[in-house]
Amino acid sequence: MPKFIINGGRTLSGKISVSGAKNSALKIIPAAILSKQPITLSNLPIIEDVERSFEVLVDLGAKISKNGQEVIIETASLNKSEMNPKLADKFRGSVMFIGPLLARFKEVKFPHPGGCVIGAGGRPIDLFLEGYQAFGAEIKEESGKFYNIKAEKLHPAHYFFPLVSVTATESMMMTATIIPGTTILQNCAMEPEIEALANYLNTQGAKITGAGTPTITIEGQEEIGAGKFAVIPDRIETGSFVILAAAANAEIEIENCNPEHIMTLLKILKKIGVNFSTGPDWIKMEKRQTPLLSHDIKTHEYPGFATDLQSPYVVLMTQATGTALIHETIYDRRLLWTDMLSQMGAQITMCDPHRVVVQGPTRLYGKRLMSPDLRAGIALVIAALIADGRTEIDNIYQIDRGYEKLEERLRALGADIERVE
């Protein structure tokens, strides 16, 4: 099983470019099912979850061709709507295929999705199922956790989300795109990836308004056409590299990013003594002469503090002076990884499954670790880069799921990191 070997404490500096957003690509690729005409995508991150998405599409009968940096997806030849459990079980993103398949074939068969184990009860999909029923579909759970969703006819829905969910919002928005009539979705998630998905579908002839606000209206069409689309920059990669620079007190320029998408983090960093300047698509991290100050955070749906940046932020707080309360409100198990950070020398008290208190500053020391999920994985890489000594991080498939050529980009900053098969 491949692992990273990292020797920490090196001085880091230079430029790092941000890849296309994983959590945008994982929706735009399944959205190809909504149209029988070809779609052309650019700035796709070359990561495991995107490869898995392509495998699912090809298994369903789609054709995928690469033209330099662009990928062309043709789904005219799609010939089935039953998802292969071996493929669907590898990542949470597989859930994004259900809505478009239902809209196109009026029937879908799929296994409960896999992916990170950070959510309660193995990443529930009750909101998705309730949403499909709102469109007139019937759901049968067959033995072995297979779902069969069927609809004689799908009709527009007026649906209020009982809980704000990013992928459930995206799934219903996609499904409604080709259900003729007016669908209104309320209490929607507002992540930038949702707005990007709506913008993309609108270039293909969809009529979606309100994406990025709590109420989204979709004027469903009989069909939508072809489209070309550049995937937006990954805001979680951006935030992770900003935090790395702050933790290492390094002069690093982060390119091809959108600072607007991580405003909550940048506001906090400014407050605690991190120096940086920003432009339309770059962030210049500068050295600071004063110590970092601790600052509490509470994760929240966008535009609040992103839960996917909670783990890198905990590492940053080990280098700050004082105590910081980290309150993870979105997921039930997303703080369990901090046990490994404690093994590296961090002073962390778990108050309850949703809250930890970090006492800083503390020196960190290299250890043998295991990456439990991709965001804890990048946090452990950041910790290893600022720790004294050598760290081994196993199970880096979890990191490869979301970070393209990570060790190459970090080595370009002066990091001593290598991948060992």
Residues that bind ligand EPZ in the complex, under the rule CB under 6 A: 22-23, 26, 92-93, 116, 119-120, 124-128, 163, 165-168, 189, 307-308, 330-331, 374-375, 402
For ligand EPZ, the closer CB: 85 or 124: 124
Write down the least CB distance from residue 98 to ligand EPZ, Å. Answer: 11
**Helix residue spans in 137-234 (DSSP H):** 166-177, 192-203
For ligand EPZ, the closer CB: 259 or 372: 372
Q: How far is CA 293 from CA 114, 155, 290, 296, 391, in A?
A: 38, 54, 9, 10, 26
Write down the least CB distance from residue 318 to ligand EPZ, Å. Answer: 21
Write down the least CB distance from residue 7 to ligand EPZ, Å. Answer: 27
Residue 357 · residue 325 · CB < 8 Å: yes
Write down the least CB distance from residue 239 to ligand EPZ, Å. Answer: 12
Residue 295 · residue 320 · CB < 8 Å: yes
For ligand EPZ, the closer CB: 294 or 398: 398
Number of neighbouring beta carbons within 10 Å of residue 263 = 11
Strand order in the sheet with 282-286: 13-17, 251-255, 282-286, 275-278
Residue 416 CA to residue 4 CA, distance in Å, equals: 10
Write down the least CB distance from residue 322 to ligand EPZ, Å. Answer: 27
Query: Residue 38 region, left (φ>0) first, then alpha (ψ -120 to 50), else beta?
Result: beta
**Helix residue spans in 81-234 (DSSP H):** 85-88, 98-105, 126-134, 166-177, 192-203
| Cβ density class 191-226: b for 16+ within 10 Å, e for less | bbbbbbbbbbbbebbbebebbbeeebbbebbeebee
DSSP 35: B
For ligand EPZ, the closer CB: 15 or 145: 145
* Half-sphere exposure (Cβ direction) of 250: Cα atoms closer than 13 Å: 26
Based on the residue annotation, tell me whether 116 is a catalytic residue of this protein: yes
Write down the least CB distance from residue 305 to ligand EPZ, Å. Answer: 11
For ligand EPZ, the closer CB: 25 or 272: 25
> Which residue is catalytic, options 116, 188, 257, 351?
116
For ligand EPZ, the closer CB: 101 or 189: 189
Write down the least CB distance from residue 70 to ligand EPZ, Å. Answer: 23
Start-to-end Cα distance in the chain: 6
Q: What is the DSSP string of 276-334?
A: EEE-SSEEEEE--SSPPBP--EEB-STTSB-GGGHHHHHHHHTTSBEEEEEE--S-SST
For ligand EPZ, the closer CB: 3 or 375: 375
Query: Which active-site residues does the annotation give?
Result: 116
